[in-house]
Amino acid sequence: MKSSENPQQSAKNVCALILCAGSGTRAKLGYNKLLYYIGKKTLLETTLDGFMQSYVDSIVLVIHPDDEAAAKEITAEYPIVQIVYGGATRTESVRCGLQAVQNCDIVVIHDGARPYVTPALINKTILSATQYGSGIAAVPAVDTVKTAENGQITGSLPREKLWCMQTPQTFDYAKIIAAYDAVKGNYTDDAEVYALAGNTPRIVEGEYDNIKVTTASDLFRGAPKRTKIGTGFDVHPFAKGRKLILGGVEIAHPKGLTGHSDADALVHAVMDALLSAAGLPDIGVLFPDTDKATEGIDSLQLLDTVYEEIRKIGYSVGNLSAVIMAQAPKMAPHIAAMRQTIAKHLHILPEQIDISATTTERLGIIGEEKGIAASATCLLFY
């Protein structure tokens, strides 16, 4: 939502117009590609998530009537979204959306089929439109572009002057609605309409990851580039007079694990996996054993801190896999509770977590029941 740290546009009402009225024919799904799931979320939800973290105050979602039920179900979780029907072409859909916008100073027009747009890019276009009247996301062309006729090359275009248009394309609302009222016909982007009405569109450098999902292969292009994998490992020795805590669950046993905190080896491994994936310092750096404030602390409190650290830089947890290495006690009766507990603190579903347990066939310090170890691997989405 709108940030108080942006005095240049804090007095402006910013509305986003997200176009989702296409049929998705080229994606060959048989339904609107924005309803396709990548992981736990549809492409539409991924698009909306980016806008919910931007300076945008309200969203008009332009849809095809056939998608109304699905769109309403999805947008129930997004209170600032209003749904309207689009037209037969992109230009007609934009006109429908612009007419539905209310109390708007700056309008952000975006193709819903660009689900990997970042809040930072959205905000850059808003600030440009506030200052100059427009902010058009575009990236410099990286390929050599030729003109051709009948399969024969007829010329070359100067690459240094070529930009590939993206969305969002953001405008002073009064200027863009006047442009759409004045300019007739159908166009593939809003900057052209704006220019034909006598205005000069201003470019904001976009992001190459801001791809447009058009064909079936595009469905798999964005997500893998926006993931990070991390691993973690921890081991603690047994000691008398200590509770045995693993995965935030207390387990009956004659001995517990010893350490500066509650010595929850599983949660510690999970935290290090998360920090590793996010490129942050490990728990030994964040929570040193010389810090009296964390002495004897519940490791789930530390996990809450780690979660906030990765969330602040834009990561969410995709899934988590962990292994407990213990000769005794038996872990199977407690794994379901561990999954529930860790999932709650990471704000994900238990189904996104797998925890297994193994012995070391009585080999080493684990097999000799001198301690318990745990390893974890996680996938983060950005």
119-140: pLDDT as tens digits: 999 999 999 999 999 999 999 9
Domain residue ranges of the chain, discontinuous segments joined by +: 14-221, 226-381
Fold of 14-221: Spore Coat Polysaccharide Biosynthesis Protein SpsA; Chain A (3.90.550)
Asked if residues 268 and 374 have their Cβ atoms less than 8 Å apart, the reply is: yes
* Cβ-defined contacts of 280-283 (< 8 Å, 24+): 280/309, 280/310, 282/232
pLDDT grade for 7, boundaries at 50, 70 and 90: very low
Q: For residue 34, what pLDDT is reported?
A: 87
pLDDT for res 207: 94
Cα 136 to Cα 169: distance, rounded to the nearest angstrom: 4
| pLDDT for 217 beyond 70 | no
Region 48-73: mean pLDDT is 94
Residue 312: which pLDDT band, with cuts at 50, 70 and 90? confident
**pTM greater than 0.75 (yes/no):** no
Cα(77)–Cα(7) distance, rounded to whole angstroms?
A: 29
Pairing, β 41-42 against β 37-38? antiparallel
Q: Confirm or reject CATH 3.30.1330.50 for domain 226-381, answering yes or no.
A: yes
User: Between 352 and 374, where is the model more confident?
Assistant: 374
- Whether 164 and 138 have beta carbons less than 8 Å apart is answered as yes
pLDDT at 236 over 90: yes
Long-range pairs for 285-290 at CB < 8 Å and ≥24 separation?
287/260, 287/261, 289/259, 289/260
Measured CA to CA in angstroms, residue 259 lies from 56, 201, 251, 340 at distances of 47, 61, 17, 24
Residues 151-205: tens digit of each pLDDT: 999 999 998 899 999 999 999 999 999 999 999 999 999 999 999 999 999 999 9
Q: Is 144 exposed, middle or buried (0-12, 13-18, 19+ CB in 10 A)?
A: exposed
12 confidence band (pLDDT: 50, 70, 90): confident
Reported as a pLDDT band with limits 50, 70 and 90, residue 224 is: very low
22 SS3 class:
coil
